[in-house]
Amino acid sequence: MTCFTRQAARLALLTLLSLSASAGATDTPYAEEIEKWRQEFDADMRTGGWLVTIGRERVGEGTWTVGASPESRIVLPAPSPPRVGTLIRRGEHFEFQPADEIKIFIDDRAVTSRTALPTQRDTGKISAGDLALTVRRIADDFYLNIAYPNNPALAEFKGVAWFTIDPAYRVIARFLPYEKAQQVVLALTFENATQTFPSTGDVVFHAGGQSMKLKTFLLGDKLFLIFQDASNGVETYGGGRFLYAPLPQDGLTTLDFNKAFNPYCAFNTYVLCPIVPAVNRLPVRIAAGAQFRK
């Protein structure tokens, strides 16, 4: 028996054992684990900031008045003050001049005069009443992101709709490492924005009676998979779903499609998400994990 044949046989045996142990396990600790994970996902939707961004405006060179007044160059949505201040852009450098009649904080520090505004992550937050404004580079330009922590979408979020837990969709996958790690540029769901993800290999598994392969990406200490399947646009989000898996051990990992979740841009179009690459479009229906309703 060749090494490949032995590994394939081992994979088939582990898959069989996994499915046998899980069959009919809808009231087992496994099902309880999935339910807990799903509750935590819903909690993250409400508290993780995914639903608070309510606008995004490009900031070109020059001076940009900001506020709810229709005379502003950047008109903010309700409940913004009529005048918040003025953004000044010179190349990649930004400053902010607060309006006289309003209290403004930048990174929790009160400001009353023209102040440099950083654009790096976790910096440069302008607080104006209940609004939070930040300038960020997206692709090759800069945008003002408008967040409202009391966005009604938070109260309206009723939780994610999920398929019934099916242990058959928890499968053992064989990891096929590349000779050399790749840096893969994926398009994002806004303008021509992209993001680079490291990728070290593919996973091979069985679904719908067929052998399937998905390209994986590294995200922290996990494998990150983005995929589409035959359920998209009918039962599930048309843009596909995401899934985390453990890093491979002895060439194997577990794909639990009961934990496949909708990208956050499915709930808020202002969130930027990677677009599924063509190589990760599965021809079968994966009736597990998140369905779609806003």
Query: Which tokens hold the place of 102?
Result: 């309003």
- Structure confidence at residue 12 (pLDDT): 41
Is residue 146 classed as helix, strand or coil in its secondary structure? strand
The tokens 């994990």 sit on which residue?
A: 289
Give me the DSSP letters along 4-73.
Answer: HHHHHHHHHHHHHHHHHHHTT-TTSHHHHHHHHHHHHHHHHHHHSSTT-EEEEEE--SEEEEEESSTTSS
Query: Which tokens hold the place of 146?
Result: 């408008």
Cβ–Cβ under 8 Å, residues 197 and 224:
yes
- Structure confidence at residue 293 (pLDDT): 72
**pTM reported for the whole predicted model:** 0.85
- Structure confidence at residue 26 (pLDDT): 55
Length of the chain: 294
- Structure confidence at residue 78 (pLDDT): 77
- Structure confidence at residue 27 (pLDDT): 61
Cβ–Cβ under 8 Å, residues 292 and 229:
no
Cβ–Cβ under 8 Å, residues 257 and 288:
yes
CATH fold of the domain at 53-150: Tumour Suppressor Smad4 (2.60.200)
Query: Which tokens hold the place of 204?
Result: 């091979």
Cβ–Cβ under 8 Å, residues 187 and 196:
no
Specify the long-range contacts of residues 34-39, CB closer than 8 Å, at least 24 apart.
34/165, 34/256, 34/258, 34/259, 35/165, 37/259, 38/160, 38/162
pLDDT along the chain (294 residues), means of 10: 40 42 61 96 95 96 96 89 95 96 93 96 94 95 95 93 96 98 96 95 92 96 97 95 98 98 95 97 96 78
Is residue 167 classed as helix, strand or coil in its secondary structure? helix
Cα–chain-centroid distance for residue 281? Answer: 18
Sorted by where each begins, the domain ranges of the chain are 3-49+159-280, 53-150
Q: What strands, in cross-sheet order, belong to the sheet with 126-128?
A: 53-58, 141-147, 131-138, 126-128, 104-106, 109-111
CA pair distance 205, 225, nearest whole angstrom: 13
Residue type (1 letter), 20: S
Residues contacting residue 58 through CB under 8 Å, at least 6 positions apart: 141, 142, 143, 144
CA pair distance 206, 146, nearest whole angstrom: 44
Q: What is the rounded radius of gyration, in angstroms, for the C-alpha atoms of the chain?
A: 23
The C-alpha angle 30, 35, 36, rounded to 5 degrees, equals: 95
